[in-house]
Structure 1
């Protein structure tokens, strides 16, 4: 049937011109909507607040994180003020309501999380069942929905299914020595002939974390009653210090084998591990089956109870119960990762709070677009010009 356009009448309504205020509102709505979509689908901007990734990433580095690499995750908490994370800007007032919780889906990405990637993720232990347990290691933890837990940045050192161990600070996977990051930072004892000008010797050579040695530094340092300093730096900068005639020797600092470090994951007496001597253990993978031995219960009970969507799970001693019955084995429902900071002696990472579930992954750190030194030597050095638009490796 043919449809004809109706003839125009003399009563045509003229289109009203928008007021300036209405146009301003429309512009703001468009800008916010565009920013939210870009931030959710493509990339987000972050700033480095702590030294856990030094010397690869520095305090004051501003970076872009790609959400496309691993696939953008859909929001779990839709009732949220746009462009906020946990609180309203400049306040402690929550910026979201958890009245509605949606299932999470992940859009296709370019790749999976790879060994060596610098990854941003939501801190798993801000789970309502776990935050109090880990408040000693990470003060001021609060429970949040999975997509609004605090953003952390670390390097992936263990992929799903990897058999991991750390020996004298060196990471091994499946019996292979893992390549260390180029700017990884370790801890060293620098023996000197006496007190030195710390700013001229350390800070001007790129070493910002240093202290005069005292016995309070504990195990791992052999001093022979020598005067010296404990510094956290790269192997390259440690070698450079040997050029000073007042430096007698430099020794890397590692905690000894069988020295049990408090507050390490898992919090159990079954293992005598520390940050330098850790494992062996297996990183869980989707579909991987395990027997629930006492050791495996210690390593994986939090995953089974809190991260896999299981109901009516209890952990009693070295047993796991579901619906009141003891279970002897378990098959994991998603992949997990083991994350560590490049500042290996000053990083609260998977060695202290466990594995990162795949549904907590946010994105891959791509490049630094701005870097501001919070404690520069002179105002002219406030901006670290050499770091601008540098690719993150």
Structure 2
């Protein structure tokens, strides 16, 4: 018997290409969701450490990547440390990703005295490329935008304030509700104030047990950063990952429709720069 030599048809070639592309797309999606994701620096809040127009790789598995459309997180391989540059869901609008430096961990006490950051009464050294661009606000000059409201704190003189840790029992009254009210709501409870009493889920109480860990994050551009001084504690559930490396950088203010100047704005010295 003579076997006929048959070649692949065009339809078979198309099917194989489609399957290869589908597998590659699934693999890329898994990498992006659970391992490494790209992130672009949109603002100047981390200058000069990171510049607007920097493109980063973010390590997502290090703190335990979140499974999409669930509250489940994969096991972490490391914990957040003071000084880590972290990407997280902005607690006031979780459709946005923010990037800041973690300066305090759950259970730490944060204080700023004349711009000097102290954590647990020890000075937290200013990062090498951090900067101050505005004038210093003196002690006793309150800023209504600062968290918690009515605290009398400002961006340069802040605290002391303890960062909540899971299991902490905090006192609830009219003077502390600005500190813990939103946190309690975000942990899934109803909070109300009736006269001098605080009600949680409709029950009067003067105590609340914190259910998860929180962090305190600040930008390296200290006078131009919307950070924990303004919106409060960062919930552990909002962590996305740790910044790894700048893989591309150019001037974001130059239009792509001006290709000559856009290409000329590439910051070659920042490409492949580790982030720390």
TM-score (norm 1): 0.63
In the alignment of these two chains, the number of paired residues is: 263
Tell me whether 1:174 sits opposite 2:134 in the alignment: no
Partner deviation per Cα, 1:27-55 (whole Å, 9 max, x = no partner):
34222211110011111001101100000
**What SS is found at the alignment partner of 1:40?**
helix
Partner deviation per Cα, 1:217-264 (whole Å, 9 max, x = no partner):
xxxxxxxxxxxxxxxxxxxxxxxxxxxxxxxxxxxx311111111222
- Whether contact under 8 Å (1:297, 1:318) holds in the other structure is no
Cα offset, 1:315, TM superposition = 4.5
**What SS is found at the alignment partner of 2:27?**
helix
Tell me whether 1:391 sits opposite 2:274 in the alignment: yes
**What SS is found at the alignment partner of 2:246?**
strand
Structure 2 Cα separation of the partners of residues 350 and 332 of structure 1: 18
Distance 1:36 1:257, change over 3 A: same
* RMSD of Structure 2 on Structure 1 (CA): 2.2
Cα offset, 1:60, TM superposition = 0.6
Structure 2 Cα separation of the partners of residues 121 and 285 of structure 1: 18
- Taking the TM superposition and a 5 Å limit, the aligned residue runs for 1:16-35 are 18-35=11-28
Which segments of 5 or more consecutive residues in structure 1 lack a partner in the other structure? 1-14, 78-101, 127-143, 189-252
Which structure has greater strand proportion? 2
Tell me whether 1:37 sits opposite 2:30 in the alignment: yes
Tell me whether 1:285 sits opposite 2:165 in the alignment: yes
Partner deviation per Cα, 1:347-386 (whole Å, 9 max, x = no partner):
111111111100000000011111112358x947511111
**What SS is found at the alignment partner of 2:22?**
helix
User: Which residue of 188, 198, 218 corresponds with 1:309?
Assistant: 188
Tell me whether 1:67 sits opposite 2:13 in the alignment: no
- Whether contact under 8 Å (2:173, 2:198) holds in the other structure is no
Which of the pair has more CA radius of gyration? Answer: 1
- Taking the TM superposition and a 5 Å limit, the aligned residue runs for 1:207-226 are none
- Whether contact under 8 Å (2:174, 2:193) holds in the other structure is no
Which segments of 5 or more consecutive residues in structure 2 lack a partner in the other structure? 1-7, 255-259
**What SS is found at the alignment partner of 2:110?**
strand
Structure 1 Cα separation of the partners of residues 229 and 110 of structure 2: 12
- Whether contact under 8 Å (1:305, 1:314) holds in the other structure is no
TM-score (norm 2): 0.88
Cα offset, 1:322, TM superposition = 2.3
Structure 2 Cα separation of the partners of residues 158 and 55 of structure 1: 21
Partner deviation per Cα, 1:53-100 (whole Å, 9 max, x = no partner):
00000011011000121111222x2xxxxxxxxxxxxxxxxxxxxxxx
Partner of 1:110: 77
Partner of 1:260: 142
- Taking the TM superposition and a 5 Å limit, the aligned residue runs for 1:1-393 are 18-75=11-68, 77=69, 102=70, 104-126=71-93, 149-187=95-133, 253-267=135-149, 269=150, 271-306=151-186, 308-310=187-189, 312-315=190-193, 319-374=197-252, 379=261, 381-393=264-276
